[in-house]
Chains A and B, each alone.
Chain A
Amino acid sequence: MLAIGRRPLRPSSRPSSATIGLCPPSTQVWNFLPKNLFEQFRRIANFYFLIIFLVQVIVDTPTSPVTSGLPLFFVITVTAIKQGYEDWLRHKADNEVNKYPVTVLENGRRMGTESEKIKVGDVVEVNEDETFPCDLILLQSTRDDDTCFVTTASLDGESNHKTHYTVPDTEKDLDSLSATIECEQPQPDLYKFVGRMHIYKTDREPEIRSLGPENLLLKGATLKNTQRICGVAVYTGMETKMALNYQGKSQKRSAVEKSINAFLLVYLCILVSKALVCTTLKYVWQSKPGQDEPWYNQKTQREKETNLYLKMFTDFLSFMVLFNFIIPVSMYVTVEMQKFLGSFFITWDRDFYDPEIQEGALVNTSDLNEELGQVEYVFTDKTGTLTQNNMEFIECCIDGFQYKYRDAVSELDGFSATDGPVSKLQEKAGKEREELFLRALCLCHTVQVKEPTGRGQDHTDSMAGVDGMEGCPPPHEQTGFIASSPDEVALVKGAMRYGFTFLGMESKKMKIMNRSNAIETYDLLHVLNFDPVRRRMSVIVRSKSGDALLFCKGADSSIFPRVRQEEVEKIRVHVERNATEGYRTLCVAYKKLSPEEYARADADLQAARLALQDREEKLIAVYNQVEAGMTLIGATAVEDRLQEEAAETMEALQGAGIKVWVLTGDKMETAKSTCYACRLFQRGTELLELTVRTLEDGVRKREERLHDLLLEYHKKAVQDVPPTKPGGSRGWSKPSQDFGFIIDGASLSMVFNSSESSSSHYKNLFLQICQNCTTVLCCRMAPLQKAQIVKMVKCSKGSPITLSIGDGANDVSMILEAHVGIGIKGKEGRQAVRNSDYAIPKLKHLKKLLLGHGHLYYVRIAHLVQYFFYKNLCFILPQFLYQFFCGYSQQPLYDAAYLTMYNICFTSMPILAYSLLEQHICVEVLLDNATLYRSIAKNAMLRWVPFFYWTLLGVFHGLLFFFGVRFLFGNPALQANGQVFGNWSYGTIVFTVLVFTVTFKLALDTRHWTWINHFVIWGSLCFYVIFSFFWGGIIWPFLKQQRLYYVFAHMLSSASAWLVIVLLILLSLLPDILLVVLRKPLGPRARQRQAGESGAGGPKSSAQPLLMRTFSDESNTVV
């Protein structure tokens, strides 16, 4: 409850939070650091490193806290800078929203204040072209018809002007108004609002007014064509619909991240078991007499006094610290940087630039780059995505007679006279019917005429304005119409071509100009809005003669049952023919309402609109009641052209092994023809249809029929198909017969909602059928059903990666649901774009986004991850092995400087450069050979087998490094002057071999050497050498021990050290090089495959093992 104006009668029942900021108010300068640190350490990895660091500080550990503190500090700083920057941007945006000046009426005076200080119940004044600072109930408007125009482009992307109404019969003088408003709890649906306003008047019963969405002005919307309005704030701050609709950036995690976590777990196990083994062995070893504390190596007093178990525990911790480098601290920051920087390549790509809208691609999240290379299912919207959503009126049919609009201007005004029926055999419909039909087209819509720009003055001369228009007849041919749906514009324009022009609406009067250039006005009594469930809309108008007429247009399936059946057949033929040609069809019906009928309908509608509870249901019931028994006049066909290269793109996606599902709200025939046009269905494709039509064939109940059909299709598509290789990973192998599956919304809901026992069974069958079909077409889908389907596939076995692409608000749910959501910067506003992870201007860009960028990103990051684990494994393994030779005393093998710098300096840059620049196959080839996409499908490079390979490689290298040097040190007299090397020389030799091997291994894997790669790889090695000289060349005053003093130089002066370094590096790389040759037998197959691709399909050979992939097609140059 809230009170308006000065006199709050009852206290507000809801807390009135007034801050409007969309982000938690965390971004103060002073508390940024602690807050940010807290947030960062909540991440498990960072927390782990913090613990390690603290252990090092507290416990006597082998390595100084610096060794893990410095990398951690580095990681934290980099992340903090990134987040701080983002916070700053958000802060700036918040301030713009929270702090802009608004005018509040208080005690009859106008007070300026800041938008964030508005409280619920304040009366706010808003001027033209300002945005509303909170959700307002419109009380007063300067327009004299008590309306105001609003555009919600920034909310839902609809750019048309919407009319909102003041609360009926309120006082004009706000000062004397005293009222309370009851309204529902805040909810995110932009188009729903129920409330009630009690107006208190002295000496009278309080009056009650119902409030609906038409009274509610949403925060974020902009006032248009209205000088000033006053409204009372009902929802502010986080309760506004805009704020409720703002879902923080979706927390989508990529499959790669899951793999990383799994690998991390494995390494954590390795780490813990290593520490456990060492601790156990240490105490076993020490139990032998004379080993624990020989005379030359006495313990300190404190050590002697420590409790044995405590000592064991600290020993365990020490080992953990010693080996903790196995979990790469810098991997997270490298992965993050790779993703962040890598995503720029998408925005920079000129191929994504669309000259029409003058924009390129947009990346909303960089977390999912690599997921683009893993897509298995693409769910695409039809309208605006596959098609251009550029509607053109093609033809209409009146009373079963076809009127084709020929694209000739000469015929434009001669429609009635000269435009005969297309077929000479056909006759024209009666003139009356024609005109009725055209009037229906002109009246039954919510289109607005775009007001000429100069026309801001006022509303009073609007009548004159229309009159003036009469003088200069067709201004609308050029001026546009604004509507939420382009179909309506196409229809109105179509009617205009036939001589009926919609001139606009003034104070609930619709004006149309008929063929004889006379103005007809109709009172608009009611609009029965369109919604995707009803799939139709109606208007009730009163003509000059006083008749109440109901015009209804909608999908055939929703109109046909509501009209007299005898008219249906002749129109149905046309509708179906049009639909198969790929046109969008609408049927038009009308009904003359007798005064009594109208009175009842009017009363019912009013009552339903006032209802506080179940208003929706009640309204729909009334709508259904009113829209019955109509007369069908005709049908229209509107063409929606295919997007550029839609067919090529779809073909490429299918070639890449991606299954394309079309999810559309459109009717089946239209969608089917679009599918054919896009080559999603081919000539040979056998269509399995599960629609209301096929379900109603038989005499039996629908459920039984559904059951039978599902089983039949399942048999056809799943069981009879020669079994593909089990294991599923190569599930692509092309079935001998292509199947296409068609299901509509009604059947789908039957599949999902049939009795519990069979539901999961049906769902299962359905899913299996779908998965074996090359293309699935789901038509007549409600937005929620789209998301349902995506979710079903997403959660199916093997949890395939899904991608949704769409352009409209109705696609948002599936865009949010899918792993990767792609928005098309299309005509239906920007809502899809805002909720998407990536936005591209056109459908055709999807091909490069997936096959090019996605593939490369995946390969890059997969290699990055594997390489990181590998390089840290072979870094730490020698250190672990060394424990067996140093009495399990946690003696580090490498100097602290090397331990610290290994991951941040010596080996980090080459892999980062690799992960940004690598193109193992160049983009053109990737785009030309869609099948290459399959080679990385199912997370191929991050499965356990490649992981095992890399781990094995790491173990092999680690063993080699350690024991190679160990055997060398069988005689430590390695210098030509007989002098001996000590333990630090040992470590330095191992480390040198390590750094070089690890870098060369990367160099070996690099297929694309730009100057940056050269610079970074050779630079890193040079840096290592120079650093080692430098580090060992000076007695560092701040170091306690000069362990490495001239160790590196002495190492280089020893021929044996050189020889062993060369030998070990070479031996380590031998398996990798060998693989190149072993992979050779695959060469011809790869060649064959390449040849096959240019033809149709080619043998879908099973993917090559990961490592063999990179060099796939080069071996033909050999011998």
Chain B
Amino acid sequence: MMASGYNAKEEDGHHSGAPGNGGAGAVKSKKPDNTAFKQQRLPAWQPILTAGTVLPAFFVIGLIFIPIGIGLFVTSNNIKEFEIDYTGIEASSPCYNCAQNYSWNSTSSCTCKVPFTLEQPFESNVFMYYGLSNFYQNHRRYVKSRDDSQLNGDLTSLKSPSKECDPYRTSDGLPIAPCGAIANSLFNDTLELYHLSNGTRTAVVLMKKGIAWWTDKNVKFRNPGGNANLTVAFQGTSKPVNWRTPVFELDPNDPDNNGFINEDFIVWMRTAALPTFRKLYRIIQKKVDAPTLASGKYELEVSYNYPVRSFDGRKRVILSTISWMGGKNPFLGIAYITVGSVCFFLAVVLLIIHHKYDNRCSSADIPN
């Protein structure tokens, strides 16, 4: 990309008999040292960016980027994604009632069933996300409202959570574990997926492991006093205000997924970058013989616990396959194709200009 000449400047030092220095020894004390550095004569590489080097570079960039872009675009397009909004804003929506009748106090959850049809089968692993809109998980007051040392199993922080957790720091005089607004607002809708075929309603097996970062699950989040007997460990703490169950009952069946190291919890604790976001909820393992999700009718059963209407939020469920580049996102492919073609186009245009100009210019040079 750069035409370069390695132009080590002539170093006139190190010849003791430098011209004009007849005085030798005595003179030396005041005469500046003849080092390359002091004389600003360090050997230097002087790259020269010229049209001659840039034009091929543009071609090369174009030639590399366009295929990559096409590849990315195709990859992204091959990803199957299906999205259902189950907020229940419209009266026709199956969750309308649940959304309307929501109250914090109800102990029994409201359940609604959202039917949908997959036109195409989903191959390989399918990832199930829940998405929230207009939910400011990146609000400063919210982002800082957590105590990482408490979540790391620190016993002192367990009993006296950080001030940042206010106003979700204590309840009824007991420290809240896990404290803070993030934990308090843990997404608690339960989503189940059923396949309807031939009148039978079969539950799709949803994996709840492997949805959180490995490092989070294994290092950053630790239960106080290990995983043994969480009830005891969390004694003297209070559950977050909005939670129905204490933290040690998040997944009573699996001690490796309970307490602070519950993966749903960990996923929630990684605050989203934008107010519209999705978080990984479950993974549907691919089957050996059949598509993971065959095309056909399905039903999403939601136990509707999470109110979003008050802030105009939306709730979605997204079913998606994944490629090496992650979820479906045409942006990268389009961007690469665009940049690649712009480079290529520029290269061509510039080459023409360059060529023409150079001709004219060299003919103009002759009379000189």
Chain A residues with CB under 8 Å of chain B are 62, 290-291, 294-301, 344-345, 347-350, 352-353, 355, 358-360, 885-887, 889-892, 917, 919, 922-923, 964, 966-986, 1004, 1007-1014, 1035, 1039-1042, 1045-1046, 1049-1050, 1054-1056, 1059-1060, 1063, 1066-1067, 1070, 1073-1074, 1076-1077, 1080-1081, 1083-1084, 1088, 1091, 1111, 1114-1115, 1117-1119
B273 at interface, CB cutoff 8 A = yes
How far in angstroms is the closest Cβ of chain B from A265?
Answer: 29
In chain B, what residue has the closest Cβ to A964? B335
Contact A1063 B336 (CB under 8 A): yes
Tell me the bound Cα distance from A966 to B276 in angstroms. 11
With A296-B142, A885-B275, A1066-B61 as known contacts, state yes or no: A974 contacts B30, CB within 8 Å: no
In chain B, what residue has the closest Cβ to A1035? B152
Measured as residues with beta carbon below 8 angstroms from the partner, the interface class of chain B is: 35 or more
Interface string of B106-135 (1 = CB under 8 A from A): 000000000000000000010101000001
Tell me the bound Cα distance from A297 to B326 in angstroms. 30
B312 at interface, CB cutoff 8 A = yes
Which of B47-55, B93-101, B193-201, B252-260 is near enough to bind chain A?
B47-55
Tell me the bound Cα distance from A980 to B212 in angstroms. 8
Interface string of B24-56 (1 = CB under 8 A from A): 000100111110001110111111111110110
Contact A1119 B144 (CB under 8 A): no
Contact A977 B322 (CB under 8 A): yes
Partner of A972, one of B147, B166, B278, B307: B278
How far in angstroms is the closest Cβ of chain A from B330?
Answer: 9
Tell me the bound Cα distance from A485 to B365 in angstroms. 57
Tell me the bound Cα distance from A1012 to B42 in angstroms. 9
Best-surrounded residue of A974, A1041, A1050 (most CB of chain B within 10 A): A1041
Query: Which chain A residues border B20 with CB–CB below 8 Å?
Result: 355
Query: Which chain A residues border B213 with CB–CB below 8 Å?
Result: 979, 1046, 1050
With A1008-B44, A1045-B216 as known contacts, state yes or no: A1114 contacts B50, CB within 8 Å: yes
With A360-B31, A889-B136 as known contacts, state yes or no: A985 contacts B38, CB within 8 Å: no
Query: Which chain A residues border B9 with CB–CB below 8 Å?
Result: 922
Which of B170-178, B223-231, B264-272, B288-296 is near enough to bind chain A?
B264-272
Partner of B311, one of A294, A1049, A1060: A294
Contact A355 B44 (CB under 8 A): no
In chain A, what residue has the closest Cβ to B358? A1119
How far in angstroms is the closest Cβ of chain A from B58?
Answer: 8
Partner of B219, one of A62, A976, A1045, A1056: A1045
B331 at interface, CB cutoff 8 A = yes
Contact A978 B322 (CB under 8 A): yes
Contact A1056 B326 (CB under 8 A): yes
Contact A1066 B339 (CB under 8 A): yes
Query: Which chain A residues border B327 with CB–CB below 8 Å?
Result: 971-974, 978
B72 at interface, CB cutoff 8 A = yes
Chain B residues with CB under 8 Å of chain A are 3, 9, 20-23, 27, 30-34, 38-40, 42-52, 54-55, 57, 61, 65, 68, 72, 125, 127, 129, 135-149, 152, 162, 164, 166-168, 181, 184-185, 210-213, 215-216, 219-220, 242, 267, 270-275, 277-280, 283, 307, 310-312, 320, 322-329, 331-332, 335-336, 339, 343, 346, 350, 354-355, 357-358, 361, 364-365, 368
Query: Which chain B residues border A1080 with CB–CB below 8 Å?
Result: 51, 354, 357
Query: Which chain A residues border B325 with CB–CB below 8 Å?
Result: 974, 976, 1055-1056, 1059
Tell me the bound Cα distance from A1083 to B322 in angstroms. 51
Query: Which chain B residues border A296 with CB–CB below 8 Å?
Result: 135, 142, 181, 184-185, 242
With A353-B32, A919-B44 as known contacts, state yes or no: A1063 contacts B274, CB within 8 Å: no
Tell me the bound Cα distance from A1002 to B155 in angstroms. 49
In chain A, what residue has the closest Cβ to B45? A1009
Contact A349 B51 (CB under 8 A): no
Tally the A-B contacts, defined by beta carbons under 8 Å.
296
Contact B274 A969 (CB under 8 A): yes
Partner of A294, one of B34, B52, B136, B211: B136
How far in angstroms is the closest Cβ of chain A from B153?
Answer: 11
Partner of B30, one of A294, A360, A967, A1067: A360
Query: Which chain A residues border B141 with CB–CB below 8 Å?
Result: 297, 299, 889
Tell me the bound Cα distance from A711 to B88 in angstroms. 90
Tell me the bound Cα distance from A1060 to B274 in angstroms. 18
In chain B, what residue has the closest Cβ to A968? B331
Best-surrounded residue of A347, A977, A1076 (most CB of chain B within 10 A): A977
Contact A1011 B42 (CB under 8 A): yes
Tell me the bound Cα distance from A1081 to B137 in angstroms. 52
Query: Which chain B residues border A348 with CB–CB below 8 Å?
Result: 32-33, 38-39
Contact A971 B148 (CB under 8 A): no
Query: Which chain B residues border A922 with CB–CB below 8 Å?
Result: 9, 46
In chain B, what residue has the closest Cβ to A972? B277
Contact B51 A1118 (CB under 8 A): yes
How far in angstroms is the closest Cβ of chain A from B89?
Answer: 14
Tell me the bound Cα distance from A988 to B307 in angstroms. 32
Query: Which chain B residues border A345 with CB–CB below 8 Å?
Result: 38, 40
In chain A, what residue has the closest Cβ to B9? A922
In chain A, what residue has the closest Cβ to B76? A971
Partner of B51, one of A300, A1040, A1077: A1077
Partner of B273, one of A349, A982, A1091: A982
Given contacts A923-B40, A976-B323, A1119-B355, 18 further A-B contacts (CB under 8 A): A290-B312, A294-B136, A296-B185, A296-B242, A297-B136, A298-B168, A349-B38, A355-B22, A886-B138, A971-B328, A974-B325, A979-B280, A983-B137, A1009-B46, A1010-B44, A1035-B219, A1041-B146, A1084-B361
In chain A, what residue has the closest Cβ to B81? A971
Tell me the bound Cα distance from A344 to B33 in angstroms. 12
Contact B329 A1056 (CB under 8 A): yes
Contact B144 A1041 (CB under 8 A): yes
Query: Which chain B residues border A301 with CB–CB below 8 Å?
Result: 166-167
Contact B181 A298 (CB under 8 A): yes
Tell me the bound Cα distance from A57 to B285 in angstroms. 51
Query: Which chain A residues border B320 with CB–CB below 8 Å?
Result: 973, 978
How far in angstroms is the closest Cβ of chain B from A963?
Answer: 10
Query: Which chain A residues border B267 with CB–CB below 8 Å?
Result: 980
Query: Which chain A residues border B162 with CB–CB below 8 Å?
Result: 1040
Query: Which chain A residues border B57 with CB–CB below 8 Å?
Result: 1073
Query: Which chain B residues border A358 with CB–CB below 8 Å?
Result: 23, 27, 30-31
Query: Which chain B residues border A985 with CB–CB below 8 Å?
Result: 273
In chain A, what residue has the closest Cβ to B327? A973
Tell me the bound Cα distance from A986 to B138 in angstroms. 11
Tell me the bound Cα distance from A964 to B22 in angstroms. 65
Query: Which chain B residues border A1114 with CB–CB below 8 Å?
Result: 3, 48-50
Query: Which chain B residues border A62 with CB–CB below 8 Å?
Result: 140
Contact A1115 B339 (CB under 8 A): no
Tell me the bound Cα distance from A793 to B158 in angstroms. 75
Query: Which chain A residues border B61 with CB–CB below 8 Å?
Result: 1066
Query: Which chain B residues border A969 with CB–CB below 8 Å?
Result: 273-274
